[in-house]
Amino acid sequence: MTTVPTKRDYSLLGRDAQAAVESGLAAAEWYHTEIPRKQMKELMKREDGPAIRDTIIWLASLLVFGCLGIYFWGSLWAVPFFLAYGVLYGSASDSRWHECGHGTAFKTMWMNDVVYHIACFMIMRNPVTWRWSHTRHHTDTIIVGRDPEIAVMRPPDLFRLILKFFGILDVWHAVIDMVRNAFGVISAAEKTFIPEIERPKAILVARIWLLIYVATIGLSVYLGSILPLMLIGLPRLYGAWHHVLTGLLQHGGLADNVIDHRLNSRTVYMNPVSRFIYWNMNYHVEHHMFPMVPYHALPKLHEMTKHDLPAPNPSILHGYREMIPAFLRQLRNEDYFLKRELPPTAKPYREEFHSDRIVQAGE
Amino acid sequence: MSSNWVEVCAAEEIDEEDVIRFDHDGRTFAVYRSPEDEYFATDGLCTHEQIHLADGLVMDDIIECPKHNGRFNYKTGQAKGAPVCVNLRTYPVKVEDGSVFIAIS
């Protein structure tokens, strides 16, 4: 069979956005593994304890590494402390933003909100804009033209991917968005997913953040040192690598335009340190199927659903060994993707939705 | 507007601090039992993206949508913030002879 590569239009206002709505891919009903209601309720149950513990460790570690970085500033001894500080600031904030945005990390809602706003500032994602963009990501996961959070578009731009590890493009766009929002402008794309009533909040946050960054830059100029920026702002660049390392695995190289998370999401077993930084989002198929399950219950959910899900990648390295060749093949044929094989115990994919794409994957 | 009482189920069929789905005459409802052993009813679909609330989580007087974690007070129907902006419609509920009834207008 010969496939004719199709140029994907990722614009939220473009051709594929319209096609997704017309074909029923947008806001579709997605596959879920069956879990008895009683067990599901147990899994969804909220607790404050795990997230309070993890947040204390996170913020205390930031404080300790930041202070040691300041203390050793000017010597090479400062480097490891800033490397650790950077990952906690520029990567751990990604998962905190995410979990608290779902409102599942803590049982107490104000705790979710406080950590959400702190993490949003660190990761430079407007808390209003990104709450709504992530809502769309869950409605239309990796649906071209609908999902505003597709990290790797096809064909992949490998240079941009490398820049992502240093946060360069993300920060560039975040600064532009922040300044634009601070001047009261909401883009046409943002208007497709942020309700009108929420837009003034996005503008207010952008103005507050802009003031903080201007003050930090001013302090750096006043002191004649980049140290203030090493603590606020720059860690989003030099500490971004871990959240990109783990985040690319979520959907990279897998199917698009399908309505079964087993086809477009990836679960990867990871080391305990990465899982702490990432707050268990390595169980990504499970998270997308059941976003109400808190991060601390995802390992249990994984055990209960793995009979119905593709085998997880056993390590980050294994995931990259699978994903990078897929990216390279997509340079030649953007329709290529990795088809996730299901175990014999799983319910099969709904071929009426996915058969064309599955054939393409095998070529 | 007139309303008629429709039997939903036996009261014991709904666990405490839980919700069930009830379909009637082409419409879908969510019927709740609070931790205080009171019963309530709302429209069955989230006002954000038409997801069945009966698959969600009841916490005290809150129902959380299973898809995007939007929260409503199921006693009043009030939307508690993003991503839900539109309140839920609520319906009167009574328990008689061990059965739950809701008044559908």
To the nearest 10°, report the CA torsion of A127, A193, B76, A107. Answer: -40
Tens digit of pLDDT at every position of chain B (105 positions) = 566 999 999 999 999 999 999 999 999 999 999 999 999 999 999 998 888 999 999 999 999 998 888 999 999 999 997 788 899 999 999 999 999 999 997
Angstrom distance (rounded) from CA B12 to CA A81: 58
What mean pLDDT do residues A204-213 have?
98
The model's pTM is 0.88
Whether A10 is covered by a domain: the verdict is no
To the nearest 10°, report the CA torsion of A23, A29, A30, A36. Answer: -170
CB contacts of A197 in chain B (<8 Å) are 85
Least confident window among A84-93, A125-134, A272-281, B68-77:
A125-134
Contact state of A41 with B18 under an 8 Å Cβ cutoff: yes
pLDDT of residue A197: 85
Question: What's the pLDDT tens digit per position in A124-157?
Answer: 999 999 888 888 898 899 999 999 899 999 999 9
Quote the distance between the C-alpha of residue B78 and its chain's center.
Answer: 12
pLDDT of residue A352: 62
What mean pLDDT do residues A256-271 have?
96
pLDDT > 60? residue A359: no
Whether A141 is covered by a domain: the verdict is yes
Q: Which amino acid is it at B51?
A: I
Number of helical H runs and strand E runs in chain B: 0, 10
Closest approach of B32 to chain A, Cα-based (Å) = 14
State the residue range of the domain holding A100: 15-361
CA A226 to each of CA A229, A234, A241: distance values in angstroms, whole numbers, following the listed order: 5, 9, 21
Q: A298 vs A6, which has greater pLDDT?
A: A298
Whether A247 is covered by a domain: the verdict is yes
pLDDT of residue A264: 96
Contact state of B64 with A195 under an 8 Å Cβ cutoff: no
Q: Specify the 3-state DSSP secondary structure of B73.
A: strand
Contact state of B71 with A195 under an 8 Å Cβ cutoff: no
Q: Specify the 3-state DSSP secondary structure of B103.
A: strand
Cis peptide before A156, with omega less than 30 degrees from 0?
no
pLDDT > 70? residue A207: yes
Quote the distance between the C-alpha of residue A18 and its chain's center.
Answer: 25
pLDDT band at A353 (very low <50, low <70, confident <90, very high): low
pLDDT band at A348 (very low <50, low <70, confident <90, very high): confident
pLDDT > 90? residue A189: no
Whether A139 is covered by a domain: the verdict is yes
Interface of A with B (CB under 8 A): 27, 40-41, 44-46, 102-104, 107, 109, 128, 131-132, 135, 138-139, 195, 197-198, 290-292
Least confident window among A149-153, A160-164, A189-193, A340-344:
A189-193
Average pLDDT taken over every residue of chain A: 93
Whether A4 is covered by a domain: the verdict is no
User: What are chain B's domains?
Assistant: 4-104 (2.102.10.10)
**Residue A8 CB neighbours (<10 A):** 19
pLDDT > 80? residue A40: yes
pLDDT > 90? residue A174: yes
Angstrom distance (rounded) from CA B40 to CA B32: 5
What mean pLDDT do residues A167-185 have?
95
Rg (CA), chain A: 21
Whether A90 is covered by a domain: the verdict is yes
| Proportion of chain A above pLDDT 70, given as a percent | 95
CB contacts of B82 in chain A (<8 Å) are 128, 131-132, 135, 198
Angstrom distance (rounded) from CA A239 to CA A253: 24
pLDDT > 60? residue A77: yes
Environment class of A178 (CB within 10 Å of its CB; exposed 0-12, middle 13-18, buried 19+): buried
Least confident window among A10-24, A69-83, A278-292:
A10-24
Least confident window among A59-63, A99-103, A265-269:
A99-103
pLDDT > 90? residue A5: no
Find the helix or strand (DSSP H, E) in which A198 lies.
Answer: none
pLDDT > 80? residue A357: no
pLDDT of residue A29: 85
> What's the structural domain count of chain A?
1
Angstrom distance (rounded) from CA A221 to CA A228: 9
Preferred mutation among B67, B84, B86 to probe A, highest tally of A CBs within 10 A = B67
pLDDT band at A2 (very low <50, low <70, confident <90, very high): very low
Cis peptide before A155, with omega less than 30 degrees from 0?
yes
Closest CA to A157 of A62, A91, A252, A285: A252
pLDDT > 80? residue A238: yes
What mean pLDDT do residues A104-121 have?
96
Reported as half-sphere exposure (CB side, CA atoms, 13 A), residue A253 has a value of 20
**Residue A158 CB neighbours (<10 A):** 13
Contact B56, B65 (CB under 8 A): yes
Angstrom distance (rounded) from CA B84 to CA B72: 8
What ipTM score was computed for the predicted complex, to two decimals?
0.80
Of B49, B59, B82, the CB nearest to A132: B82
Whether A343 is covered by a domain: the verdict is yes
Whether A355 is covered by a domain: the verdict is yes
